[in-house]
Every structure is written in C-alpha cells, then in structure tokens.
Structure 1
Amino acid sequence: MSLSASKTYFNKVIAVFEQVQKTQSDSIEKASDWIVELFKKNGVLHVFGTGHSHIISEDLFFRAGGFAPVNAILDVNLTMHGGGSLNRELNLDRMEGYARIVLDNYDLRAGEIIIVISRSGINPIVIETAMLSKERGLKVIALTNLKQSQGSTSRHSNGKKLYEFADLVIDSCLEVGDACIEIGEGLPKVAPQSTVVCCAILQSIMAEVATRMYRDGVIPPVWISINMPGGDERISELREMFGGRRLKIN
C-alpha cells in the first residue's frame, strides 16, 4: 500500500517552508535583530497564542535549546485543557475584555517584545492582546496567515484584525483553513499545517538570535535538558537570573 497522502502532506509542508523562506526572510531577519537587542539588554520575550496556537508559544518556553528569558503567556482557560474546555476557550477567544485580565497577571515592560500567534487574527483575544501590549510600550510581532486574515471578517467591535496592530508581521503562508489534504469531494480537508510551520518559523528566528549573539561575543542564556549532565545546575542558574520576572518557572 502506497503512502500517497503521507507524502503529499510532507510535500505540502515543505512547499510552505519554501514560500516562507522566499517571502518572509526580511521579516524574520528584522525579528531576529529586535530580539537580539532585547536579550542583550536583559529583556524578556513574551509569546501568546490561544487554542492550538498556545502549543506554538509553549514550544519556545522552558525547553532544551530554548532561551531562558522567554515568557509564554499561558492561560488554561484559553487552551483545550480541562473539563468543558472547548466551549470555554471558544467563548473567551471572542470575548472583548478578557485579554486585559490575562495580561494583568504578567510583568510586561515597555521596550520588550511580544509575539502574538493567530492563524486568522480576527478574534478579540489576540486583537486586544496586541492593542494592550502596544499601549504598554511593547513591540508587537504578529505571526498570522495574512491571506486568511485579510479574507475574513473581524469579530472585534473595532473591525480591526491582529496584523493591523503589529509593528512587524510574519506571514505563515498557510492554506486558508489550515488543513491541506483532500480525501474526497465535498468532505473537509484533513492534516493541519499551522503547528509544525509556525513552530519552525519561530525556532528559525531563535536559532538566528543565538548565532548572532554568540557572534557578538554574548553567550546566549539557553536551557539544556534536565536529563543531561549539568541540567539541574543550569536550570537553577537560569531560574536565579530570570525567575523574578514572574515567568511561570518558579
């Protein structure tokens, strides 16, 4: 039995990566420059996404090979975790005012950077996260699907979308609707791309950041695995350095 659908999925993901490299290199470079300067000043990079996009924000947070001064803004009510979570998450995504409640739990400082991740960028939670972050003096990077966002209607009363509040937009170049494999006429597509693509985009930026910092004579503050020799000591050292910023690693 051939693996035609499996191969098609890999090929489609690779095609998105190629499109990202072709069209988003300037934005990726600018994001890398900003984050390098932020980390050199001992600032914190904040990352936010809801629903499955919270997985992407977690991918930068407290893991081997990742930077210590990264703060994932994780509100369990905006994830798929816990009883009755689907309706809860959908409703809060679309509720104006909830973003302020979430952000007030975090130490967001002027001059820092927040990456807001949303495929469509039309729900109040991500729109207001960008708005409020800008009000607090942060630079906002939006990681979004511009084609889908521009072709969709905002659910916020101001009629705006996430990318309209961003200082920098990185287009994920995904298919509209995320899923990419057709299985039959009239049936929904399967196999979403956004998690693997967006995680790769952000990890490519962080790899660039680490390389540039080292080139400039700065040792990047990077976690190593707790299961590797010296892992416990490294984690304790970085917690001591950055834990006071109310990162969720205390």
Structure 2
Amino acid sequence: MLAKEWLKKAYEVMNAIENTQMEAIQKAAKVMADTIEAGRWVHTFGCGHATLPIEEMYPRIGGFVGFHPIIELPLSFFTHIVGDMGVHQFVFLERVEGYGDQIMKGYNFDSRDCMWIFSHSGVNAVNIDVALKAKEKGMKLIVFGAQKAAEGRTTKHSCGKTMFELADIVVDSCAPGEDAAVPLKNHPDKIGPVSTIAFVTAVWMTITTVAEILADRGVKLYIHPSHNVGDPGAHDRLDEALKEYKKRIVGV
C-alpha cells in the first residue's frame, strides 16, 4: 500500500532529524530563547508550502508569544492555482531578486532579534534577499531546509550563495531534494511530499526546547491555551497572551 509507503518515508525523515539534528536544534533554540527573553522577536519567513510551519507556531494552541510571522500573501496564497495569484505567478515571484528587500521594508528590526527562514531548496532569490537583509541588520540567521539534499545546487541570487551558506545555524530537514517520496507506477514523478511533516517536526522539537530553556531560566511564557476544553481560566490566559503580543508588536 502506498499509504504505508508514505508513512514509512515520513518516519524515516523524523527519525533522521532526531538522530542527526539535535545539536543544531539546541543551538537554534538557545539563540531564540535569548531573543525572547530580551523581549524581542524571532521573525519567521518562508514561501509557498514553507509558510505552513510558520502558521503552525503562533497563534497556535501550545505556542507562545515571541514568534513573529512574516508571510507575504502573493508568496503563500496560490490556492486559486490558475488565474489571479496562481501558481505561475508564485513560481516567478519567488525567483525575483529584490522582492525580499521590499518585504523587509515593511518592518522594524533590532539586532537582538533573529530571523528563522524555511527554505526546502535554499536557492530561491526572495528567501536569500530576506536572509541578507537580516544579517545586514545584525540578526542571527537560522535556516531550516533540506541542506544535504541541496548540495551542488546553484543559487538563483547574484550574491552567489545559497541559504545554507549564509546561515549562522542550519537545521537539516532531512527531506529528499525532490520532496515527493513515493514512486507511482506508469508515472515519471513521485507523489507524497514529506517536507511539511519534516518542517513541522523540527519546529516543535525546536520550540519545545526554547520553552524548556526559558522555563529553566524562570522566564514567564505567554502560552496560547486550549480554550475549548472547559478550563475557566483559559480565556483570561488567552487575553493575557494576546495583550503581550500586542505590546511587543508595537514598532515592528
């Protein structure tokens, strides 16, 4: 059954992350914890399906204040598929050098912030624009993507470097370069991508580590609670978390 074949591939990716990336995850979590403890932001960015791990962080039950999503609508909302904001436009835009510079103009940054970028291939121009601007502003750059699988690929940016070469810390998603993992008879292309499950796995391994570090330091976390299970205090804690987010977002 191809269902079990996909599940096997997903397990392999998650096991590979556990077996090879724990040290890198710990390093990334330490940088993020320092940023959040300072009252600053872990900015997060990705394009296409690499926005899904960003949406998974916050606002999300079990997530907490400190992660600031930067998601550009034309680089994420392509569910029309054809017509306006379709796949053709998205594929073009993610390769346009200079677009990321314009995105970064919409926010204020601090050298105590860090930038967390998700990029499966590590070669597209808009992600590299954002990465270069983040480093220019003194931020630590953390990149999650298929680093090993991307070896030998050529950057699409004039800087001559890939995301993985620019990063201060890389966590390898351990996904295959082509992303899709399951062969299908009578077809040249595989089905069943695994990059999203890889990214989300690595995200929660990282964020739980950030939480552990901050809790050990005695830092209060503003956690987004589950407010549908009958806990009478949940709505108050949700209001408190959103109030803290609002306070921190001023000036961003």
TM-score exceeds 0.5:
yes
Cα distance in 2 for partners of 1:169, 1:209 equals 16
Choose which of 8, 11, 22 in structure 1 pairs with 2:8: 11
Structure 2 residue aligned with 1:192? 193
User: Partner letter of residue 50 of structure 1?
Assistant: C
Cα distance in 2 for partners of 1:151, 1:243 equals 43
Choose which of 33, 42, 47 in structure 1 pairs with 2:44: 47
Structure 2 residue aligned with 1:241? 244
Listed as ranges, the matches of 1:89-100 within 5 Å are 89-100=90-101
Structure 1 residue aligned with 2:67? 70
Structure 2 residue aligned with 1:138? 139
Cα distance in 1 for partners of 2:163, 2:32 equals 20
- Structure 1 residue 246, shift from structure 2 partner: 3.5
For the pair 1:152 / 2:149, whether they are aligned, the reply is no
- Structure 2 SS opposite 1:143: strand
Output one character per residue of 1:66-105: Cα deviation in whole Å (capped at 9) or x when no partner. 0112111011011125633322221210111111111121
- Structure 1 residue 164, shift from structure 2 partner: 1.2
Q: Is this contact kept in 2: 1:225–1:231, CA < 8 A?
A: yes
Cα distance in 2 for partners of 1:135, 1:171 equals 24
- Structure 1 residue 56, shift from structure 2 partner: 1.3
CA separation of 1:155 and 1:104: change in aligned 2, threshold 3 A:
same
The share of aligned pairs that are identical, in percent, is 27
- Structure 1 SS opposite 2:48: coil
Cα distance in 2 for partners of 1:186, 1:105 equals 44
Q: Give ranges in structure 1 of 5+ residues lacking alignment.
A: none
Q: Number of aligned pairs?
A: 244
Structure 2 residue aligned with 1:37? 34
User: Partner letter of residue 50 of structure 2?
Assistant: S
- Structure 2 SS opposite 1:109: coil
Q: Is this contact kept in 1: 2:222–2:244, CA < 8 A?
A: no
- Structure 1 residue 112, shift from structure 2 partner: 1.1
Output one character per residue of 1:116-152: Cα deviation in whole Å (capped at 9) or x when no partner. 1010011111111110000011110010111332232
- Structure 1 residue 107, shift from structure 2 partner: 2.8
User: Partner letter of residue 239 of structure 1?
Assistant: L
CA separation of 1:231 and 1:90: change in aligned 2, threshold 3 A:
farther
User: Partner letter of residue 54 of structure 1?
Assistant: T
Q: Is this contact kept in 1: 2:38–2:112, CA < 8 A?
A: no
- Structure 1 residue 226, shift from structure 2 partner: 4.2
Q: Is this contact kept in 2: 1:119–1:148, CA < 8 A?
A: no
- Structure 1 residue 215, shift from structure 2 partner: 2.4
| TM-score normalised by L of structure 2 | 0.90
Structure 2 residue aligned with 1:211? 212
Structure 2 residue aligned with 1:129? 130
User: Partner letter of residue 193 of structure 1?
Assistant: V
Cα distance in 2 for partners of 1:235, 1:89 equals 35
Q: Is this contact kept in 2: 1:107–1:246, CA < 8 A?
A: no
- Structure 1 SS opposite 2:226: coil
Output one character per residue of 1:30-87: Cα deviation in whole Å (capped at 9) or x when no partner. 1111122222211211111000101111111211100112111011011125633322
For the pair 1:232 / 2:235, whether they are aligned, the reply is yes
Cα distance in 1 for partners of 2:186, 2:152 equals 23
User: Partner letter of residue 219 of structure 1?
Assistant: K
Cα distance in 2 for partners of 1:208, 1:240 equals 24
For the pair 1:102 / 2:103, whether they are aligned, the reply is yes
Q: Is this contact kept in 2: 1:149–1:161, CA < 8 A?
A: no
| TM-score normalised by L of structure 1 | 0.91
Q: Give ranges in structure 2 of 5+ residues lacking alignment.
A: none
Cα distance in 2 for partners of 1:91, 1:244 equals 37
- Structure 1 residue 158, shift from structure 2 partner: 2.4
The RMSD of aligned alpha carbons is 1.7
CA separation of 1:108 and 1:226: change in aligned 2, threshold 3 A:
farther
Cα distance in 2 for partners of 1:42, 1:144 equals 27
